[in-house]
Amino acid sequence: MVKQMPGNRVVLISLLQLRKSTLYPGPDSFPEYTGYGGCMEEPKLIKVVGAAIIKDGKVLCAQRGAGKSLAGYWEFPGGKIEAGETPQQALQREIEEELLCEIDIDKKVCTSDYLYDFGNVQLTTFLCHLIEGMPRLTEHECIEWVEPSQMPRLRWAPVDHDAVTRISGMAF
C-alpha cells in the first residue's frame, strides 16, 4: 500500500504494517455479514427448466441468439417456469414453443444455481426423448446434436455447467 506523507513523500507500507496500524482496524471491527440488506436488494430468483433431448446417442444443444442475454453461449432448450406450472409442464410448453416438437420427459439430471448480474437463475435439467416432430429453429442461433463426451467443448452458459458435466459422462 502507498501512503502520502507530509511534504508529498510517498512511503510503501507492507500489509503487516498496515494490519498493525490504525488504518486497518482488523476484521473484528467490521459488522458481521448477514446477507443482503441495507441498500442492497436480494437478487431476483428466476426458475427455469432445460431439456437434454437424446436421439441416437446424441444430445441436442442450442446456441443462444444475438440480441439475447448470454448471446452465443450454448444451453439446453427450455425456459422460465410460469406461475402454477410444474417444472415438467413448463418444459413441455417451452419445447413446443421453441422447437415445435414434443418430448417425453425422463429423469431429472440436476438443479443448479448461478448468480448473474440480472438475477439468480435456478435451472432444473431433465433428460428427454423426442416423441413427435424434429426440432426446428425459432429462437436459437443454431442447434446441434452432440456426442455427450464432446459437450464440454462448447461455450456453455454458466448455469448449465453442472448438467453438462453430469451428462457428458453418460452413455445413451
Can you give the pLDDT at residue 20? 41
Could you give the CA distance from residue 42 to residue 51 in angstroms, rounded to a whole number? 28
Strand (E) or helix (H) holding 107:
strand 102-116
Q: Residue 41 has what pLDDT? A: 77
Q: Which residue has cell 417444472?
A: 87
Question: From residue 65, how far is each of 62, 68, 69, 137 by CA, in Å?
Answer: 9, 6, 9, 10
Its pTM stands at: 0.76
Q: How many CA atoms lie within 13 A of 162 on its CB side?
A: 14
Is residue 1 within 8 A of residue 10, CB to CB? The reply is no
User: Could you tell me the CA-to-CA distances from 100 to 85, 130, 136, 165 in Å, in that order?
Assistant: 20, 11, 6, 27
Given this model, what pLDDT does residue 39 score? 55
Q: Could you read off the pLDDT tens digit of each residue along the chain, which spans 172 residues?
A: 444 545 544 444 444 343 444 444 444 443 443 455 555 678 999 999 999 999 999 999 999 999 889 999 999 999 999 999 999 999 999 999 999 999 999 999 999 999 999 999 999 999 999 999 999 999 999 999 999 999 999 999 999 999 999 999 999 9
Q: Is 171 exposed, middle or buried (0-12, 13-18, 19+ CB in 10 A)?
A: exposed
